[in-house]
Amino acid sequence: MDKDIAAFAALAEKALGKTGAADLPGAGAAGGLGFAFSAFLDAALKPGIDLVLDLLSIDDALQTADVLITGEGRMDEQTAMGKAPVGIAQRAKRQNPRAAAIAFCGCALPGAIAVNDQGIDAYFPILHQPGTVEEAMKPDVTERNLWQTALQVLRLLNIR
């Protein structure tokens, strides 16, 4: 499939007289919509997290924040490649390099450690005992697990 996608991109670029659209960061996002928008519509690509954070005008709040708390259902190496938790952590570090960036996650795969090099100071999976995915995703179980983990992290930071 990767070969077919690359062949399509090369054909499209040749037909349009363009080069490099397939190599732009974000070109493969959302099933290749980034490539399509760039190649066919001459759109400029911008990370979605930056659009959202700009719309929220969050920079002022981040300048004075001591702690940023973010999260994701499953943290892995893809999280480090510009997903929302890393995007907001990087923005927070630009606004206030001293702020601690903490992430909570449902689970963390071995590749999640890459987020530590991308602005997240520490991440904490919220599962406390073995169980099924279905059980872990029940709202009351998720709430209890998140509350328990967050309480312990905030105690460590002496924030209550």
**Domains in the chain with CATH codes:** 2-41 (no CATH), 48-156 (3.40.50)
Selected residue with higher pLDDT from 11 and 147:
147
pLDDT of 30 higher than 70 = no
Select from 104, 108, 46 the least CA-distant residue to 77: 108
Query: For residue 72, what are the β-bridge partners?
Result: 105
User: Tell me: the pLDDT tens digits for 78-112?
Assistant: 999 889 999 999 999 999 999 999 999 999 999 99
The C-alpha atoms of residue 160 and residue 151 are separated, in whole angstroms, by 8
Q: Is the dihedral of CA 12, 18, 21, 22 positive or negative?
A: positive
pLDDT of 54 higher than 70 = yes
pLDDT of 47 higher than 90 = no
Kindly report the pTM of this predicted structure: 0.78
3-class SS letters over the chain: CHHHHHHHHHHHHHHHCCCCHHHCCCCCHHHHHHHHHHHHHCCCCCCHHHHHHHHHCCHHHHHHCCEEEEEEEEECCCHHHCCHHHHHHHHHHHHCCCCEEEEEEEEECHHHHHHHHCCCCEEEECCCCCCCHHHHCCHHHHHHHHHHHHHHHHHHCCCC
The C-alpha atoms of residue 104 and residue 152 are separated, in whole angstroms, by 12
CA atoms within 13 A on the CB side of 64: 2
Contact 52, 40 (CB under 8 A): no
Looking at residue 134, what is its pLDDT? 94
Query: For residue 124, what are the β-bridge partners?
Result: 104
